[in-house]
Amino acid sequence: MTAPAEMKMKRLAYVDWMRGLACVLMFQTHCYDSWLSPEARKSSSLIVWSQLGGTLPAPLFVFLAGVSFALVTERLREKGIERNAIAKQTLLRGAEVFGMGLLFRVQELALGYPRSPWTDLLRVDVLNILGLSMMLMGVLCWLTASRSHINSTASRSHMNLAADGTVAAARIRTLVAAIFVAAIVAMATPPLWTTHRPKFLPWPIESYINGVHIFGQPQPWLFPLFPWSAFAFAGLAAGFFLFSESAKRREGLMFAALGAAGIIAVALSVFFDSTRIRLYAVYDYWHSNPNFFLLRCGVLLMILFLVYAWCRWGFAQKGFSPIIQLGNTSLLVYWVHIEFVYGRFSILPKKQCSALQATAGLLTIFLAMLGLSLLWIRLKKRKVRASQPSPAAIAATEGS
């Protein structure tokens, strides 16, 4: 395997491992939230602490969408594909994910009928915001891409150098712009949630801005553009940073730098929260404040470094990795497990289980989703093999 191909495989392993970790944390959060009785929630400190892990899956998924978006966009740019074609491809992918989010809401309404209110159809969920964030990132990458074309009459070496310089310049522009947009979104979140809410908009539209839904005030358990799209742009910046020439030459050092930046971000968040300076009329650290966003970004960067170290030392890829397997099919297992945890087909009675029962259910869900993931990948491989011509057909064609 060539060095670039090996590096690409490593990067895919980092992303898939983090995405698989997000799936596991998502399972434990949803299972305990759905099945534990009120008494069980208070009886075990382990359960209480485990819920802290529930704050990570959604930021991880959105952040990794940005990282993956950067990897795809950079690869297309390096191939010399024109920026309009890249924008079209990425925008269509974002629209596809957004459409899946709408379809998921339709499924939830249908399976929950007649108990589910029709307003659930318009609830802003994580898939909706993932799709919209991807489309916004596609627009940003289009704006920051180079408009110039390489002179076809130049020598091949000069063309390669010019192309490399063009891609590198676009990478830097996109990285800086992504950080700027993430900061703007985070800074604009508190007033859009409180003092400057766009109340003139119908609630389904306002909900995409601040997650108000039908409750008259923003709900922290929903996924509006402010602040959730900021995680996608933060991931986009991290992804393009990892494609820089310095990162390619000193991969370990650059990942360590991201980990150190995460520690600094957490420290700054705690420091800013402890000061008496308040930029907003309403200060809500744990939901809408940029300091909390800074803290979570710091944690994500530290996780990114730790996952890199885990993969770099080879532990993550020795033999079969269930975490990477789940990461390969994260959308599928997210979609399916919801019905067996929260939905009509819940495998345990909701709000009635002990900690031991809920943990047994969690293990069952984990194994079931892992089995589903393996089956799905096997079916996809079988479909690919079936679409390829047989050796006999190839030989017949060559003979003719």
Q: Which residues contact 68 (CB under 8 A, 6 or more apart)?
A: 15, 235, 239
Q: Does residue 97 contact residue 133 with C-beta atoms inside 8 Å?
A: no
The overall longest dimension of the chain from CA atoms, in Å, is 82
CA–CA gap between residue 397 and residue 383 (Å, rounded): 22
Asked whether 368 and 340 are in contact (CB, 8 A), the reply is: yes
Please give the Cα distance from 200 to 333 (Å, whole number). 38
CB distance 373 to 326 below 8 Å: yes
Quote the pTM value.
0.89
Outline where the chain has alpha helix (H).
Answer: 3-35, 38-43, 45-50, 57-78, 83-112, 126-144, 156-193, 203-210, 225-242, 245-249, 251-274, 290-312, 322-328, 330-341, 355-387, 391-399
Q: Are 278 and 286 in contact (CB under 8 A)?
A: no
In tens digits, what is the pLDDT along the chain, a chain of 400 residues?
444 444 444 556 788 899 999 999 999 999 999 999 988 887 767 677 777 778 889 999 999 999 999 999 998 998 889 999 999 999 999 999 999 999 999 998 888 878 889 999 999 999 999 999 999 999 999 999 977 544 444 444 444 434 567 888 999 999 999 999 999 999 999 999 999 999 999 999 999 999 999 999 999 999 999 999 999 999 999 999 988 887 878 888 999 999 999 999 999 999 999 998 888 999 999 999 999 999 999 999 999 999 988 887 766 556 688 999 999 999 999 999 999 999 889 999 999 999 899 999 999 999 999 999 999 999 988 888 777 765 555 555 555 4
In DSSP terms, 36 is beta-bridged to 353
| Separation CA 364–CA 346 (nearest Å) | 12
Structural contact between residues 220 and 123, judged by C-beta atoms closer than 8 angstroms: no
